[in-house]
Amino acid sequence: MTTPQPLTARDDTRSKILDLAELLWLGRGFNGFSYQHISRELGVKNAAIHYHFPHKVDLGVELVRRYRRRLARYIEASAKLDARAQLERFFALSDAYFLNEQQICPSGSLSAEFHTLPDELKAEAALFVVDMRAWALAIVRQGREEGSLAAIGRDEETADILYAGLQGALQLARMAPDLLEHVKSALRVQLGITPGV
């Protein structure tokens, strides 16, 4: 077994750039921050950021790939749960973003700015949305097979209502904070989950 190597200063700077860029992106959108925002906050020169990510699109692509890796791990950790428990984990993602300074989730941010993104970033963003929709569909199908969730229509339609409902609620909750809870409650009812059961 190999012992993991400690992060080098270069790796640590790269991670810090990604972490800060993620916060800026989810709070302001991709077009709402620049390398200057990152360099000022980290106390480094723009050249240090360009060293790791020559162009902003390179940074954006790596952020989306990182989101996709995280999501894959999250889904994998949920795989042995029943459909209702997975549904609650699906809802928990929205809650986590909202409770962190009312951020919107990565797919919501990406879709809101989709037409202004560079092509390479659009391609990665589209894959991320595919991942999220696929997980919603897997939850709905498993729930139908278990008899624990009711479909609103075809499984694909139900999954899209689930995903789109949460995306919209998360964005609108910035102006109406109770909306996210209301939408989650409505989705539970539509999926046949009786409150308190």
pLDDT of residue 86: 97
CA dihedral 128, 161, 75, 61 (to 10 degrees): 10
pLDDT of residue 11: 66
Domain locations along the chain: 56-191
Domain 56-191 has CATH 1.10.357.10: yes
CB 99 within 8 A of CB 155: no
Question: Which DSSP string corresponds to the chain?
Answer: -PPPPPPPHHHHHHHHHHHHHHHHHHHH-GGG--HHHHHHHHT--HHHHHHH-SSHHHHHHHHHHHHHHHHHHHHHHHTTS-HHHHHHHHHHHHHHHHHTTTPPPHHHHHHHTGGGS-HHHHHHHHHHHHHHHHHHHHHHHHHHHHTSS--SSSHHHHHHHHHHHHHHHHHHTTT-TTHHHHHHHHHHHHTT--TT-
What is the pLDDT tens value at each position of the chain, 197 positions in all?
444 444 455 668 999 999 999 999 988 999 999 999 999 999 999 999 999 999 999 999 999 999 999 999 999 999 999 999 999 999 999 999 898 888 888 888 899 999 999 999 999 999 999 999 999 999 999 999 999 999 888 999 999 999 999 999 999 998 999 999 999 999 999 999 977 65
The Cα 81–Cα 89 span in angstroms is 10
CA atoms within 13 A on the CB side of 131: 21
pLDDT of residue 161: 95
CB 148 within 8 A of CB 84: yes
Question: Which DSSP string corresponds to 22-38?
Answer: HHHHHHH-GGG--HHHH
